Every structure is written in structure tokens, then in C-alpha cells.
Amino acid sequence: MPRAASGMLHRMTAAKRTSATSPGSGAPAPRPQAGIRSVERAIELLQALNRQPVSTIDDLYRRTAIPKATIARLLRTFEAKGLVAQSVRFGAYYLAAGVSSLNCGYVHGPRIIEVAAPLCDELTREIKWPTTLALFDVDAMVVRYSTIPQSPLSLLHSSINLRRSMVGRALGRAYLAFCSPEEREVILSVVRQSGREEDRLAHAPQELDRILELTRMRGYALRDPEYSKQSCTMAIPVRQGDATVATLGLTWFSSVLTPEQAVERYLERLRTTADRISAILNGSTDR
């Protein structure tokens, strides 16, 4: 190609590139195809800090796989912004009061959470143990509200947005046992593809059917004890009309109560709370 033609082609290509990205050209700049990794890591680290009262850098590394040097830099940044504080003991970190500024403007959410939250709070004030509201999402139950912050009796700092197995956890078993057979079969077909260890029971249909039948007979589900030796959870369905729309769980220390004792003491109170939530959702009563 002649040198003049080559130079003209180069200038035309450069001009086209400039006009495509210029703010004044009227054409939007191409959107990035991936997120900003540094921001993603900051969010992941804040979520990990939110899981328990205090965390060391080693704890955070195990839960996030973020390099320790990056964790240390992010923690210093959070501390400077008032989001995190450092404990004198063991050099551990915990969320500081400034983190509340990140959610003070958030007011949206499904109506069931708006309805259930004050009733769950009321139950925890009465019995002290934390309660949890979970909603179904694709192949798991997701914790959407928890009274852990109001409870003096909890192993976790927060459980919000934790995903709970449909077949191994009480919150999931309560949903599967009381949803329609058609919905249950569709859910299980998805769960069987998850590959998660907690979902292995989905591949043992006879054993799972036995557990779900026992759950329906009792009216409540229990967590598989192998997932925690320190605590136990029972859960019941929350219904709107004929449909199961959520599950409500109660967790206690295994060293304090056996499942039988917890059921005897708290099942009826848990049912009363679920019934009140359902009544409001169905429009038959006010709060």
C-alpha cells in the first residue's frame, strides 16, 4: 500500500475510534464486560466480616481466598473510613458503627420481609433464641431476615444472604415438605445438578421421601445434625393462600436443649408467628 494511502487509513481509523468514545459524539462508550475486581474484593471482605463478631486476617483469607496482603490493605482502608475497627485481642477485626451508613437508605424488599421482621423480632425478644426467615431461590433457601442482632444467644454475627440446602437444612426441608409435589420435583431436578456436598441427599430419593414424610407428619423440619454439633434448627412453612412462600426457623445451642425439648418449648410459639405472618399476607388481619 502506498505510504500516503497508509497514512490516511491510519488517520481515519484513529478518528473513528475517537468519535466512538467521545462524550460529545452522542454514541455511548462500550460498557465493560467484567466488574472492577478491587471493588468486588472489598464487597466480599465486608460480607465475610459480617458473618461473625470478630475475624483475623487468616479467618478472612480462608473464607474469601483474597490474598492476605490485599486483605490487610482493605482493612486499613475500611478502618480509616470508620467501617471496621481492630480488637486489641489477637489483632482481630470487627465491623464498626460506620458500616450502618451503607444500608441506611435501603428501604425496598419483598412484602413478606416487611411483614415478618417485626413479628420475628417480637418472638426473639420473648424467647431470646434467634429466628430466621428464608425465601426460595433457584436451588436453595436464602436467609432474607434474621434476628441474630437482637439475640444474645447466637454463634454467628449475621446469616443474611446465606444459602441453605434444600435437603440438608431445616429451612430447605420445611419448604420441600410443604410445597406442591409438582414444585418439589422441579426443585429437586435442579438441586441434583448442584454438585454440593450438602445436596447429596437429593440423589437418595427413598431416604429423602422418608424425611419429608416425617416432616409433614410432625409439622416441622430439623437440620441434618452432621452440619453442626454446636447448634440445631427447626423450621416450619409460611403460607400465602395455598402456596408455601417462605420458611421460618428457630436455632438453639445443642448443649442447652435437645431437639425434643426445643420442640416442646417453642414449636407452638414459632407456629403462632408463622400464622400471624400468613394472616397479614392473606389480608385477614392487621399487624
pLDDT in tens, 193-207: 998 999 999 999 999
Architecture (CATH level 2) of domain 37-102:
Orthogonal Bundle (1.10)
Average confidence score pLDDT of the chain? 84
Which residue has better confidence, 88 or 220? 220
| pTM, full prediction | 0.64
d(CA 163, CA 21) in angstroms, rounded, equals 41
Q: Mean pLDDT over residues 112-126, rounded?
A: 95
pLDDT recorded at residue 103 = 66
3-class SS at 96? coil
pLDDT recorded at residue 171 = 98
**Domain layout of the chain by residue ranges:** 37-102, 111-281
**Helix locations, 29-110, DSSP H:** 37-49, 57-64, 68-80
pLDDT recorded at residue 170 = 98
Give the pLDDT band (50/70/90) at residue 131: very high
Note whether 37-102 and 111-281 share their fold.
no
Third-level CATH fold of 111-281: Beta-Lactamase (3.30.450)
Distances (CA, A) of 281 to 47, 144, 174, 249: 31, 17, 19, 18
Q: Mean pLDDT over residues 43-58, rounded?
A: 83
Q: In angstroms, how far is CA 268 from the centroid of its own chain?
A: 26
pLDDT recorded at residue 85 = 86
Give the pLDDT band (50/70/90) at residue 253: very high
Secondary structure percentages of the chain, helix, strand, coil, to 5: 50, 15, 30
The H or E element spanning position 116 is helix 111-127
Which residue has better confidence, 89 or 21? 89
| Range ranked top by mean pLDDT from 6-20, 80-94, 112-126 | 112-126
pLDDT recorded at residue 92 = 82
pLDDT recorded at residue 227 = 81
